[in-house]
Amino acid sequence: EVSTASLDDLVDTYCRAWSEPDADARRALLDQAWDEDGTCTDPLAEVAGRAGLHAHIGASFADFPGMVITATSAVDVHHDKGRFTWQLTLPDGSVPVAGTDFVQVTTEGKIRSIVGFFGPLAPKA
């Protein structure tokens, strides 16, 4: 079972990778936190593998130059799974997107998968 502290560290490293425009530095962060075969799925993409995620983050900088991704909640953990909220902030301080990610960790302590959702949930009608 993963601890809150260890998953918190993984999430921080993952967010730093999303905020790193330098390809080599971003690769080093993903090497620390992301399983080689990990998957990342959100409303805009479905990416497999560390190299695929590295390329996806790089492409995101074309859409959002200077973006910074930060966790905006504590990481909620049980078993090998967790969830946290995050936001993407641009250099002018605007936040064009925020969401919730659900994360699963390998027995080796790296992120195996992230499933992300954008925005808050709508109230039930």
Task: State the pTM of this model.
Answer: 0.94
Cα separation of 46 and 125, whole Å?
30
Ranges 5-9, 41-45, 49-53, 79-83: which has the least confidence: 5-9
What integer is the mean pLDDT of 76-95? 96
**% of the chain at pLDDT higher than 70:** 99
Instruction: Kindly state the DSSP code that residue 121 receives in the 8-state scheme.
Output: P
Collapsed DSSP state (helix, strand, coil) of residue 82: strand
